[in-house]
């Protein structure tokens, strides 16, 4: 998973569940806890996420990660960019598959 995919996954999960801990977020998106921390700090610094403290049911202090309007826009921008990149990759793969099939037919 690349950096853009990590951001998209984290923003997507936080949009659904803003009270996820970093550890829970790490498990959900399948990246290391350190990477989650790094991405969250960057998103907070850029103003895409804001944090608020709250008490969870176990009486431990925990953060709530709230997407800001710029965070929602960033999520959409990242998704569109990622989708464009994957569609271009898909088109290249279709051409490569066509060429490989042609090679196999010519070999027979």
Q: How far apart are CA 8 and CA 25, in angstroms?
A: 12
Three-state SS at 59? coil
pTM for this entry: 0.78
Using CA atoms, how far apart are residues 48 and 50, in angstroms rounded to an integer?
Answer: 7
> For the chain, which domains are there?
3-107 (1.10.10.10)
Most confident of 25-29, 49-53, 55-59: 25-29
Give the burial string for 68-87 (b: 16+ CB within 10 Å, else e): eeebeebbeebeeeeeeeee
pLDDT tens digits for range 63-72:
899 999 999 9
Res. 62: pLDDT tops 90: no
63-98 pLDDT tens trace: 899 999 999 999 999 999 999 999 999 999 999 999
pLDDT at 5 over 70: yes
For residue 58, what pLDDT band results from cuts at 50, 70 and 90?
low
Beta partners for 65?
Answer: 51
More confident residue, 25 or 60: 25
């Amino acid at each position: 998973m690349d950096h853009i995919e990590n951001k998209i996954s984290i923003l997507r999960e936080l949009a659904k569940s803003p009270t996820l801990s970093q550890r829970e977020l790490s498990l959900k998106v399948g990246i290391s806890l350190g990477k989650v921390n790094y991405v969250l700090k960057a998103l907070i610094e850029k103003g895409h996420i804001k944090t608020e403290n709250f008490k969870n049911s176990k009486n431990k202090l925990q953060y709530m990660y709230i997407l800001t309007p710029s965070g929602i826009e960033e999520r959409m921008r990242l998704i569109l960019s990622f989708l464009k990149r994957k569609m271009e990759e898909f088109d290249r793969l279709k051409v490569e598959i066509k060429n490989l099939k042609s090679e196999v037919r010519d070999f027979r």
